[in-house]
Chains A and B, each alone.
Chain A
Amino acid sequence: MSTLNARPLAVRTEEVCKTYPQDPNPVQAVRGVSLEIESGDFVAMAGPSGSGKTTMLNLLGGLTRPTSGRIWIGGDEITDMPDPALARLRLERIGFVFQAYNLLPVLSALENAEFTLLLRGVPSAERHRKVRELFEQMGMDGLEDRFPGKLSGGQQQRVAVARAVVGEPALVLADEPTANLDSVASAALLDVMERLNREHGTTFVFSTHDPRVMERARRLITLVDGEISEDVLRNRVPA
């Protein structure tokens, strides 16, 4: 367990376990993970397939409940939070970027990116302004009206990142965001996320196999068999 008290905590877990019932032997995906992640951090969770990275992201995002242990997001415990409240928390304070098939195919790039703002009831003009600004920063201007099927993998992931950060959530959880991208698209995506992290102070937590992502992370947590085997601070910038 690593404890960093310089900044407020974005995430905290305490002895979190997740077991999936499965015959004949239940699968213990996460085993007693205790973790604290500071606000504004840029954290990569690495580890081999089946090490529990994605399950950890699911747990942090409230997409699945822990079998035991406790989880806090920005000071609010989500362990037993009712589903509607959890959905609200995801909407307002957490952004997700998934590995693939990240966008709603029936919505345009702009509509995908503004989706969470729409759910929050943000007026149309403000939604469009924010998305267009982000698209401009991400080199996506001009692609607002394209549907996902007409965008490259890298462009789709950038739209997904735009959607994840446009509502200025405290935490962005990204599951292998560069897994399906070539090196150029990966680098561009990481540039975007790093800049958003730097300029907006958004906390990013990735799960990844990708050494390029690990290299950029300021903290690298390695999971093996559902347990933290290594937790390394690197590339730190002063608080």
Chain B
Amino acid sequence: MLKLAARSVGRNAQRSALTAAAMVIGLALLIFSRSLAEGAHEQWITSAIRIGSGHVAIQAPEYLESGKLEHRIGAVGHERALRAVESVSGDQVLAHTPRLSVDGLASSAASALPIRIEGVDPEQERAFSDLDEKVEDGRYLEPGDRLHAYVGVELARRLGLKVGTRFVLTAQSAAGDVEGQLVRVVGIFRTSIPEMDQGLIHIPIETAREWLGTPDAVTTVAVLLATSRDTDRVVSELRDALAGASDLRVLGWRQAAPELDSALRMDDYGDYVFHSILFAIVALAILNAVMMSVLGRRREFGLLQALGLTGAQTGWVVFGEGLFLTAVSGVVGMVLGFLFTWGFFRNGLDFSGLAESESAWASAGGMVDPVIVPIFHSSQVLLSLYFILIIGTLASIYPAMRASKLDVAEAMKFDR
């Protein structure tokens, strides 16, 4: 039966090629688009979490909701958090950095604007964030800097700031008083994310601690991982390690950056719709090709039954053909999809021509590089293959049932 099915596939080369082409192209497209979407998502996540609170954030339990300085981590908690981060198994943790963040006001002679002030360790921040690479003028913070600030280009424009200009930061201190701090612009950055360029300032963490009256405190220990896929595992490990620490809360990036999570879920939803349409097209193409083959070969199937095959056995032959075609096409499609994506786009696919301005690539708190590097996950490639196999199998059932219920005498077109 298998031989018969395989030979039928081979003999009806045009039909088989058409069906196979639908599956091969469908699967190849699927793998290409999945790996590209995966690459874009990873880039998106990495970009956003580098500037934001990391793949994993360790904070005081109430800080995420309040964002207030009173919900900070003290020296003991900070030390405990660092030990926990350093105890994470494997080499998934690429970097970690302490941050002391507070909402405040930036004022100059020209204007005053609400801003997010982040006290950072310049050295650790360099390893963690890529904000230091976005210098438009001046330089990033360096160890030893004291009353210096690294500001966004839009904030600088609105406040009339230049490198070397002094301006005042105002925020509520730990004691509840409004405190001011004079700082000097050491560098101006441009991320193309309007919210960042207009509303973020980095100052040395020691300056922030002293100014806000929170010696040794941090509001977040941000942890950067090699890949976002390790987030859940690392979160779980850290939660275990910090199980007894009621003053610390471990958050994955989905919790810590819910707007990014929402944006990705929306994007995922779009992908699902696209892939569902793709699957439906592939399924219809397969169903059509297998159906045509059955309708066009009624006499052949009639002959099989006249020779002694039961209806069920004839159905199995048709089903076997569909299965054989699907399996071969699925494997070929998978290989082609992989080779096509890897062969042409392993260094990334440049979409920069699609947007008029750089800011169009900024989204959900992150800056997306217009060159997207596809990412392959064997589980996703295999999942696509399984889907194609399932569709091929399902699409073969109906034609097989039709063949099994054939009226033999009618199919043989005997004279009456």
B8 touching A106, Cβ below 8 Å? yes
Q: Which of B299, B310, B311, B416 contacts A55 (CB 8 A)?
A: B416
Q: Interface digits, B392-416 against A, CB 8 Å rule (1 contact, 0 not)?
A: 0000000000000001110010111
A53 touching B412, Cβ below 8 Å? no
Residue B75 is within 8 A (CB to CB) of chain A in the complex: no
List A residues 39-62 near B (Cβ within 8 Å). Answer: 49-50, 52-55, 57-58, 61
Contacts of B138 in A (CB 8 A): none
B306 touching A96, Cβ below 8 Å? yes
Residue B10 is within 8 A (CB to CB) of chain A in the complex: yes
Residue ID in chain A nearest B304 by CB atoms:
A104
B299 touching A53, Cβ below 8 Å? no
A27 touching B416, Cβ below 8 Å? yes
Contacts of A61 in B (CB 8 A): 306
A101 touching B299, Cβ below 8 Å? yes
Q: Interface digits, A151-166 against B, CB 8 Å rule (1 contact, 0 not)?
A: 0000000000001000
A54 touching B300, Cβ below 8 Å? no
A90 touching B304, Cβ below 8 Å? no
Q: Which of B300, B407, B415 contacts A104 (CB 8 A)?
A: B300
Given A104-B304, A105-B300, A106-B11, does the pair A84, B310 have CB atoms closer than 8 Å? yes
Q: Which of A58, A83, A87, A119 contacts B414 (CB 8 A)?
A: A58
Contacts of B407 in A (CB 8 A): 64
Q: Which of A27, A52, A88, A102 contacts B308 (CB 8 A)?
A: A88
Residue A206 is within 8 A (CB to CB) of chain B in the complex: no
Residue B46 is within 8 A (CB to CB) of chain A in the complex: no
Q: Which of A49, A63, A104, A119 contacts B412 (CB 8 A)?
A: A63
Residue B157 is within 8 A (CB to CB) of chain A in the complex: no
A115 touching B7, Cβ below 8 Å? no
How far is it, in angstroms, between the C-alpha of A101 and the C-alpha of B408 when the chains are bound? 14
Q: Which of B10, B303, B307, B408 contacts A64 (CB 8 A)?
A: B408
How far is it, in angstroms, between the C-alpha of A102 and the C-alpha of B300 when the chains are bound? 9
Interface size on B, residues (CB 8 A): 25
How far is it, in angstroms, between the C-alpha of A63 and the C-alpha of B312 when the chains are bound? 15
A49 touching B415, Cβ below 8 Å? yes
Residue ID in chain B nearest A105 by CB atoms:
B11
Interface size on A, residues (CB 8 A): 34
Residue ID in chain A nearest B12 by CB atoms:
A106
List B residues 282-325 near A (Cβ within 8 Å). Answer: 299-300, 303-313
B414 touching A115, Cβ below 8 Å? no
Residue B4 is within 8 A (CB to CB) of chain A in the complex: yes
Residue ID in chain A nearest B5 by CB atoms:
A106
Which secondary structure dominates chain B's binding surface?
Answer: helix
Q: Interface digits, A81-116 against B, CB 8 Å rule (1 contact, 0 not)?
A: 001100110111000101001101111000000011
Contacts of A10 in B (CB 8 A): none
Rounded to whole Å, the gap between the CB of A122 and the closest CB of chain B is: 13
Contacts of A58 in B (CB 8 A): 409, 412, 414
Rounded to whole Å, the gap between the CB of B8 and the closest CB of chain A is: 5
Residue A221 is within 8 A (CB to CB) of chain B in the complex: no
Contacts of B416 in A (CB 8 A): 20, 27, 29, 50, 52, 54-55
Rounded to whole Å, the gap between the CB of A134 and the closest CB of chain B is: 16
Contacts of A175 in B (CB 8 A): 414
How far is it, in angstroms, between the C-alpha of A116 and the C-alpha of B310 when the chains are bound? 12
A87 touching B308, Cβ below 8 Å? yes
Q: Which of B299, B306, B313 contacts A63 (CB 8 A)?
A: B306
How far is it, in angstroms, between the C-alpha of A106 and the C-alpha of B2 when the chains are bound? 12
A83 touching B415, Cβ below 8 Å? no
Contacts of A87 in B (CB 8 A): 305, 308-311, 313
How far is it, in angstroms, between the C-alpha of A87 and the C-alpha of B404 when the chains are bound? 12
Given A58-B409, A63-B408, A102-B303, does the pair A92, B308 have CB atoms closer than 8 Å? yes
How far is it, in angstroms, between the C-alpha of A92 and the C-alpha of B307 when the chains are bound? 9
Rounded to whole Å, the gap between the CB of B339 and the closest CB of chain A is: 31
A119 touching B408, Cβ below 8 Å? no
Residue ID in chain B nearest A29 by CB atoms:
B416
How far is it, in angstroms, between the C-alpha of A92 and the C-alpha of B309 when the chains are bound? 11
B307 touching A115, Cβ below 8 Å? yes
Rounded to whole Å, the gap between the CB of B217 and the closest CB of chain A is: 79
Contacts of A49 in B (CB 8 A): 415
Q: Which of A55, A90, A106 contacts B307 (CB 8 A)?
A: A90
Rounded to whole Å, the gap between the CB of B294 and the closest CB of chain A is: 15
Q: Which of B4, B306, B312, B409 contacts A106 (CB 8 A)?
A: B4
A90 touching B415, Cβ below 8 Å? no
How far is it, in angstroms, between the C-alpha of A83 and the C-alpha of B415 when the chains are bound? 23
Q: Interface digits, B318-348 against A, CB 8 Å rule (1 contact, 0 not)?
A: 0000000000000000000000000000000
Contacts of B409 in A (CB 8 A): 55, 58, 63-64
Contacts of B312 in A (CB 8 A): 84
Residue ID in chain B nearest A95 by CB atoms:
B307
Residue ID in chain B nearest A86 by CB atoms:
B310
How far is it, in angstroms, between the C-alpha of A152 and the C-alpha of B109 when the chains are bound? 102
List B residues 1-20 near A (Cβ within 8 Å). Answer: 4, 7-8, 10-11
- Given contact pairs A63-B306, A63-B409, a sample of 4 additional A-B residue pairs in the complex whose CB atoms are under 8 Å apart: A49-B415, A58-B414, A106-B7, A175-B414
Q: Point out residues on B near A: beta carbons under 8 Å.
A: 4, 7-8, 10-11, 299-300, 303-313, 407-409, 412, 414-416
The 8 sampled A-B contact pairs (Cβ below 8 Å) are A29-B416, A63-B305, A64-B408, A87-B310, A90-B307, A91-B309, A106-B7, A119-B309
What 3 pairs across the A-B complex have the smallest Cβ distances? A91-B308, A106-B7, A54-B414
